[in-house]
Structure 1
Amino acid sequence: MAHNGTQETCERWAQKAYSVLVGVARSYHAVITYKELGTEVQERSGIHTRAPLQYWIGSVLGKVVREAHRRGDPPLTALVVHSDDGMVGEGYKEVLEVAGQPPVHDVLDRKRHAAEARLDCYRRFGATLPPGVGVRVLAPRYQATIKRRRARTAEPPPVCRGCFVQLPATGVCDSCN
């Protein structure tokens, strides 16, 4: 069945998205990309669209946010991340709005909030947590990005005290030796 842009279609996709996200939450540290979720809700609902994902997934996830809040569930949309960087999108701010919390403008603070929400999802929906009840984590791809950045900004290379030139691997200055 083709998507006809109706509110009914969005509702149906949101129901399927909720179910998909509960399934994701049952695996500790699991996340799903926006694209994977979009594909899955279309397959499960039998309603397909050629419209680009960015034109409709936000409405679907907004409904999921409100339904999770209504049920008293943690924000399942924290499990949905970008495929390129593993981070939640700008639409995550709706989680805070619906919960009556102030907006989080700092990107890293938003990612930390989402990490805490993911841990709440894993706990709520029965993921097998490690001893100590689990810890909040940033999305795996985002953690890898941070690790790469830290590696690039590691300690500066040693410098010769005499001429202030970077020392070679031997640790002995070729100029001042």
Structure 2
Amino acid sequence: MAKLLPQFARWTPAALDILRETASRYGAVITVSDLADQVLVRTRVESPTSRRTWLGDFMEITALAAARAGDPPLTSLAVQRDGTVGDVYARAVLATTGDVVRDVETRAAEDRLLCYRALATDLPADGGVPRPAKVRRASSSTTSPRPGRARAAVETKPVKVCPTCFTALPATGLCDYCD
């Protein structure tokens, strides 16, 4: 069973929203890393530890939350940079259905199709087919500004959280409640 961090309570609803948005576009996927980045930005709740220590557990908890909410298996949309889901998704399937998956990539492709059929606004007339995930790289025109045009950079930093009571810390870095 997944280890619970207090931050998961704030992160999970944000992850579900992001995954539902992803499922609204037929064939769309999101990398696990991009999902984590977006969750931290949206919630403004930082992790006290490295992602490697919590990301697998977070994906499992998100899968359980999706199942409880009656959503299709949304975590099938979260892939590695190479388009695979790997063992993390096998854990999510086991936690939500009790199924031990032999071919996790085929299962993920079938589950992604369930997501698109439930939420995509651009589903093909034939209902689509299960297929491997394709991670689209941003084109150079979207990743760098055109010469002569300056883009305003908006930087949002995650909120630092008190490790004792998990409230947002003021600029002093000292918790108003614990110190």
Same fold (TM over 0.5): yes
Q: Distance in 1 between the 2:97 and 2:75 partners?
A: 16
2:87 is the alignment partner of 1:90? yes
State the Cα distance separating 1:135 from its structure 2 match. Answer: 1.0
State the Cα distance separating 1:100 from its structure 2 match. Answer: 3.3
Counterparts of 1:9-20 in structure 2, within 5 Å, are: 9-20=7-18
State the Cα distance separating 1:72 from its structure 2 match. Answer: 2.3
**Structure 2 residues without counterparts, runs of 5 or longer:** 136-179
**Structure 1 residues without counterparts, runs of 5 or longer:** 1-5, 142-177
2:133 to 131, 139, 142: 139
State the Cα distance separating 1:50 from its structure 2 match. Answer: 6.3
Output the amino acid matched with 1:39: D
Task: Report the structure number with the largest CA radius of gyration.
Answer: 1
What does residue 23 of structure 1 align with? 21
Counting matched residue pairs gives: 133
State the Cα distance separating 1:81 from its structure 2 match. Answer: 0.6
Q: Distance in 1 between the 2:114 and 2:76 partners?
A: 10
Q: Secondary structure at the residue paired with 1:129?
A: coil
Output the amino acid matched with 1:54: R
What does residue 32 of structure 2 align with? 34
Counterparts of 1:1-16 in structure 2, within 5 Å, are: 7-16=5-14
Output the amino acid matched with 1:121: C
Q: Distance in 2 between the 1:50 and 1:32 partners?
A: 24
**1:123-155 CA distance string (max 9 Å, x none):** 1113311121111111125xxxxxxxxxxxxxx
C-alpha contact 2:60 2:95 (8 A) present in aligned 1: no
Counterparts of 1:1-177 in structure 2, within 5 Å, are: 7-49=5-47, 51-83=49-81, 85-105=82-102, 109-140=103-134
C-alpha contact 2:59 2:92 (8 A) present in aligned 1: no
Q: Which has the higher helix share?
A: 1
**TM-score, normalization by structure 2:** 0.68
**TM-score, normalization by structure 1:** 0.68
RMSD: 2.0
Higher RCO, 1 vs 2 (CA within 8 Å, ≥6 residues apart): 2
Q: Distance in 2 between the 1:35 and 1:100 partners?
A: 25
State the Cα distance separating 1:90 from its structure 2 match. Answer: 0.8
